[in-house]
Amino acid sequence: MTALLTIQQLSITLQDNVVLSELDLSLNKGDILGLVGASGCGKTTLLNAIAGFNKPSQGKIVIDELLLSDDNCCVPAENRQVGMIFQDYALFPHLTVHENIAFGISKLSKAEQNQQIDQLLTILKLKEYSDSYIHQLSGGQQQRVAIARALAPKPKLLLLDEPFSNIDARLRNELMVEIRQLLKQFDMTAIFVTHNKDEVFTFADKMAVMAQGKLLQFDTPSVICQQPNSYQVADFLQLGSWLPCHLDATGAQSLLGRLALDKKCLEQHKLAYLLVKPAQLLLNTVVAGDHLANAQVDYISVTEQGYHYYLSSLDSAVTDKALSFSKLSLYSDRVLSLKQQVSVSVKPHDFLFFSKSN
Ligand SMILES: Nc1ncnc2c1ncn2[C@@H]1O[C@H](COP(=O)(O)OP(=O)(O)OP(=O)(O)O)[C@@H](O)[C@H]1O
């Protein structure tokens, strides 16, 4: 399959500040990509570069086999067939819903405009609001108008900057599912920026994790969740807690006991961090001589999955400071109290170790 969007070695420097650095990315037609990363890592700058609002210092952007930007050319934004939806939707308050959608297709005849707008209003369930002004609509309806306005000129790619951040948390999930179905109906390729990884899992087919202008990992959300490629990715996405371990030739030593490793886990790091998901921890009954206490409860909250505890290593158990841990996340139906000493072990599983420096 030919890629709809190809980005190669894209770098952008703004006022002597390297904001994007040698970024490669490729999307097939109909793919929805969720772009995540800490504030200031360059997500909006990447969208702006694709839309044609800023000029790369290096690299190539190709959409549907058309070269939009390289060292020698930079196609202006209005000729790129890229639609953009901003966080605040940027709708015109003095125009009706119909007029807002018509804005980008004014070159078409009135009859063609009306036919296209009618079709969009029907699909987006906005028909009865055609003559309403923007302030008369709910947040979700305004968002649908913004989508209709962006889709009207039939873009090849749709860019959405934090599209769900202004939507009430209760409605957000419902709206995400609805808009995803809509984009799929149009076979629309889209990139959306978010600060919320759960939005990526609901809305996207692919996920890109960025840090400091670089792409750390690009894959499906489930692969990234199961196989993060670095400490930074797992830590940013909060995929589990960290248990420091000393790796040696036969296993890993932690304050929660010794872990037997199979051969492929063996690496030569002296100190490594095991990514532990709550379901991989076992809360044992403390019995002197058998399961000795090795952690204490620092924090308790009530959740749908039972009590949520944060545990830290017991000072008395720490002989090697490098192995001490804090904020080990554990869910249990058992009632524990603050500062209670407990015994926790790690269930055997496909261990994922990371070094902080990679
Ligand atoms: N016009 C500009 N001139 C100089 N530096 C800029 C300019 N625009 C953005 N930057 C810098 O580029 C970096 C990336 O900014 P960008 O807005 O792309 O980040 P972001 O990941 O979208 O952040 P956020 O999640 O907070 O919206 C930031 O350090 C920002 O200060």
Q: What's the full length of the chain, in residues?
A: 358
Name the pLDDT band for 324 (thresholds 50, 70, 90).
very high
What's the confidence (pLDDT) of residue 305? 84
Give yes or no for residue 344 CB within 6 A of ligand 1.
no
Superfamily of domain 3-229: P-loop containing nucleotide triphosphate hydrolases (3.40.50.300)
Q: What is the pLDDT of residues 38-91, one digit of tens each?
A: 999 999 999 999 999 999 999 999 999 999 999 889 999 989 999 988 877 889
Give yes or no for residue 43 CB within 6 A of ligand 1.
yes
Q: What is the pLDDT of residues 332-355, one digit of tens each?
A: 999 999 999 999 999 999 899 999
Give yes or no for residue 83 CB within 6 A of ligand 1.
no
What's the confidence (pLDDT) of residue 39? 92
> How far apart are the CA of 40 and the centre of ligand 1, in A?
5
**Could you tell me which residue, 164 or 17, shows the higher pLDDT?**
17
Pocket test for ligand 1, best of 10, 35, 44 (most atoms within 8 A of CB): 44
Q: Does residue 264 register a pLDDT over 60?
A: no
CA 101 vs CA 56, 104, 115, 116: distances in Å: 30, 7, 12, 9
What's the confidence (pLDDT) of residue 155? 93
What's the confidence (pLDDT) of residue 144? 86
Protein residue whose Cα sits closest to atom 16 of ligand 1: 42
Q: Does residue 304 register a pLDDT over 60?
A: yes
CB 307 within 8 A of CB 332: yes
Q: Does residue 288 register a pLDDT over 70?
A: no
> How far apart are the CA of 224 and the centre of ligand 1, in A?
25
Write 257-266 long-range contacts (CB < 8 A, 24+): 257/294, 257/345, 257/346, 259/346, 259/348, 259/351, 260/348, 261/351, 265/351, 265/353
Give yes or no for residue 17 CB within 6 A of ligand 1.
yes
Mean pLDDT taken over the chain: 90
Give yes or no for residue 19 CB within 6 A of ligand 1.
yes
Give yes or no for residue 55 CB within 6 A of ligand 1.
no
Q: What's the one-letter identity of residue 28?
A: N
Pocket test for ligand 1, best of 21, 45, 88, 236 (most atoms within 8 A of CB): 45
What's the confidence (pLDDT) of residue 52? 94
Instruction: Choose the weakest-confidence range: 7-11, 41-45, 312-316.
Output: 312-316
Q: Where are the domains of the chain?
A: 3-229, 240-354
Instruction: Choose the weakest-confidence range: 35-39, 140-144, 169-173, 331-335.
Output: 169-173
> How far apart are the CA of 62 and the centre of ligand 1, in A?
23
Give yes or no for residue 330 CB within 6 A of ligand 1.
no
